[in-house]
Amino acid sequence: MKNTVMTFKEAKNKGEKLTMLTAYDYSTAKFIDEAGINSILVGDSLGNVMLGYEDTVSVTMEDMIHHGAAVARGAKNALVVIDMPFMSYQTSVYDAMVNAGRLMKEGRANAVKLEGGIEVCPQIKAITDAGIPVCAHLGMTPQSINAFGGFKVQCKTEEAAKKLIEDAKAVEEAGAFAVVLECVPAKLAEIITKTVNIPTIGIGAGNGCDGQVLVYQDMLGMFSDFTPKFVKKFATVGEVMKEAFAEYIKEVSDGTFPGKEHEYKIDEEVLKKVIE
Ligand code: KIV
């Protein structure tokens, strides 16, 4: 059954955990969808894990639409959330609405996600009023990496922790259907989870959130540039890939691949006429 924003609401009411993973292409989205995930996030983390940038700042609307549409084609049951890239919504409410609309129409998203609290609430309200579900994103918001001065746990001071709680209440009030909490102390994330009525989706925010999200390359052991403390590697797919690539290189080099079973046949009579 297709997951919707109602699935998120009901899960929070029933105390059932929500599951979310990133994906950026059709085949991976299909695997994740078939595994039974609630939601797939086409994160702007694609800038890091797919395109090799050192941060998400350079990711464009065209990148998000291109990858988002591929994921949407592969995700039958998962709710597809597409990230609004840096400067596609911060500039004005008008820009936010136009770009959210493009992610829905061209990227075939079921919802969009944007980073920030009180300062982007006019955007969240306008987008949701237009019938587009919005997931908020608080805590360590990677698009603000230059303002943070690096990837760091956020909200450890009294002032910052209070601001985070106010931001969470504000994005709920503005109409967000869920909020991602990234790199937030677990106890603080738990307080927010109890304070707001929308589901909290944690990444580096402990077990007290209503759901969890991870970047799929991180949890499969496919991305070695940088592994945050909160990542658990559920598999070592990167190693399996390297072994398979090395085996392919060996078999092509020593002539054992392709074998007879990989060949196409031609009628001997036709062949005779070809070489006559
Ligand atoms: O872009 C992304 O993958 C994200 C997750 C880290 C939540 O925003």
Domains assigned to the chain: 5-235 (3.20.20.60), 240-275 (no CATH)
- 261: CA distance to ligand 1 center in Å? 43
Ligand 1 binding pocket includes 180 (Cβ within 6 Å): yes
- 264: CA distance to ligand 1 center in Å? 45
- 194: CA distance to ligand 1 center in Å? 23
Backbone angles phi, psi at 146, to 5 degrees: -70, -30
- 22: CA distance to ligand 1 center in Å? 7
Those residues with Cβ within 8 angstroms of residue 5's Cβ, 6 or more apart along the chain or in another chain: 79, 110, 111, 133, 177, 178
User: What integer pLDDT is reported at residue 128 of this predicted model?
Assistant: 98
Ligand 1 binding pocket includes 203 (Cβ within 6 Å): yes
> 251 has which bridge partners?
none
Q: Are 136 and 99 in contact (CB under 8 A)?
A: no
Count CB atoms within 10 A of the CB of residue 223. 18
Q: Are 50 and 63 in contact (CB under 8 A)?
A: no
Tokens 């062949």 correspond to 271
Measured CA to CA, the distance from residue 19 to residue 273 in angstroms comes to 61
Number of alpha carbons in the 13 Å side-chain half-sphere of residue 207? 1
12: nearest Cα among 199, 206, 181:
199
Nearest CA to ligand 1 atom 1: 43
User: Is 182 part of the annotated catalytic residue set?
Assistant: yes
Ligand 1 binding pocket includes 140 (Cβ within 6 Å): no
Measured CA to CA, the distance from residue 167 to residue 223 in angstroms comes to 32
pTM, rounded to two decimals = 0.96
Tokens representing 191 are 């307080």
Provide the residue-wise pLDDT of the chain in tens; the chain has 276 residues: 999 999 999 999 999 999 999 999 999 999 999 999 999 999 999 999 999 999 999 999 999 999 999 999 999 999 999 999 999 999 999 999 999 999 999 999 999 999 999 999 999 999 999 999 999 999 999 999 998 888 778 788 999 999 999 999 999 999 999 999 999 999 999 999 999 999 999 999 999 999 999 999 999 999 988 889 999 999 999 999 999 999 999 999 999 999 999 999 999 999 999 998
Measured CA to CA, the distance from residue 70 to residue 64 in angstroms comes to 10
Tokens representing 8 are 């998120």
Ligand 1 binding pocket includes 43 (Cβ within 6 Å): yes
Ligand 1 binding pocket includes 210 (Cβ within 6 Å): no
Choosing from 34, 115, 173, 182, which is the catalytic residue?
A: 182
